[in-house]
Structure 1
């Protein structure tokens, strides 16, 4: 089953290759969507794909790349959105 989740990650998540690392993990899991920095220091992601792979990505996002310090992760399922790839915005 294909799903999309909107995710907001807070903590030390900007300037630590969080978006680039997220993009690589998403590609590895065959997911689409995007990752972008927010003005409040958080990172927002949209991850879409097979539910099992989205769940794996959500698990990875709880830690992020080695340089990150994830303090909180909020996510909610949203309506399916078709994306051809996983972009960094």
Structure 2
């Protein structure tokens, strides 16, 4: 619910915060939620400048791997036909 209310974030400030973030799980989870809610600022973020790390990550046991961001999240966070195997 909190993420739904983030419609007016500044893409420039978000990029600065994400660029300084050293936790791969945090970056990946941020984009899982951003994709899920489809905020307008998402298209202004340059994912190629961020470190998504290598390999899969696990947030929860027994969840499902997100096809785009390669992080295990609760099953309801991964919808059918969402993304591909790109990171």
Q: TM-score, normalised by structure 2?
A: 0.29
Larger helix fraction of residues: 2
Larger strand fraction of residues: 1
Say which one has the larger Rg: 2
